[in-house]
Structure 1
């Protein structure tokens, strides 16, 4: 599958093996993992495994996170988009589509999570024809909470994710409430 979405300031496209350096910069940063269980990767091999997993999701599930590229510079700034989660039982759900984003810190505070997230929601409802979309954030991550609300998701409840020992928030957006 080929994914390509343009927003005002971003290009969202399928992740490629050539994104390895950007993925490593992103996921080796402890600040990025502050609200993700504090488990940054230590080697490029770990980032390569993650990248391969996402590329495999495109083939197996028809969707996976998108590379986020800043138009003005052509820089890889992180990833954003939709995935079909089948790996975790999360808040009682075992198969669901969620929206997420992860950006390199120098690109925080610019509205890129919201901008890319809105494009991903549009893609979810108008291209994938989904009826419901979920979001998850760590309870202390106020910036991510705000971005999910700006994207249009609605806070539902807090829950504890036993597998990673994290206090999380659960969000949802139904297609009939979109737009």
Structure 2
């Protein structure tokens, strides 16, 4: 499958390349980036290289996946965003991680909106979920801005999470909050 590239007002969502590993390594090891993720709070560059390989393979296997998020004006890699299939539950989840230097500018919302549009309009998904740590208020706010509704405080793979969902009809009928 050819991974599409999507243009938004300020961003390119494009396929990852092996050359993205050093910058993604820096981003993932930034302050508080992995704070709400299970497992280690730091990653090696080799782990990031493997992650990029898995992200590309996910596209081939599931027809969706995570894009590299690139700033259009500078070409700077800012992080990742997209849709991943959770094989254990067969749900499609929105995922985003951005460089702390780009937090608070609405970029996660912009990339998330493009990801949802792709999922609903190109993949004809019925719904997309958002799974977030209960203390990760910034990511919960992004999900809310995307029109996702809180549905449950639950557990995913042994970790307490808040679950959000948006359906295709709700996405089609909304205006996104900036």
Partner of 2:175: none
TM-aligned CA deviation for residue 83 of structure 1? 1.1
2:127 aligned with 1:143? no
Confirm or deny: 8 A CA contact 2:129 2:166 kept in the other structure. yes
Query: Which of 86, 98, 101 is the equivalent residue of 1:106?
Result: 101
SS at match of 1:178: helix
TM-aligned CA deviation for residue 42 of structure 1? 3.4
Confirm or deny: 8 A CA contact 1:136 1:170 kept in the other structure. yes
Partner of 1:167: 160
Confirm or deny: 8 A CA contact 2:34 2:42 kept in the other structure. no
TM-aligned CA deviation for residue 95 of structure 1? 1.1
Structure 1: how far apart are the matches of 2:125 and 2:147? 15
Which ranges in structure 1 are unaligned for 5 or more consecutive residues? Answer: none
TM-aligned CA deviation for residue 38 of structure 1? 5.6
Pairs aligned (count): 171
Structure 1: how far apart are the matches of 2:43 and 2:59? 25
Q: Structure 1 segments of 4 or more deviating over 6 A?
A: none
Which ranges in structure 2 are unaligned for 5 or more consecutive residues? Answer: 173-178
TM-aligned CA deviation for residue 28 of structure 1? 2.2
SS at match of 1:113: helix
TM-aligned CA deviation for residue 35 of structure 1? 1.0
RMSD of the alignment, in Å?
1.4
TM-score (norm 2): 0.91
Residues 41, 3 of structure 1: alpha-carbon distance in 2 compared, 3 angstrom cutoff: farther
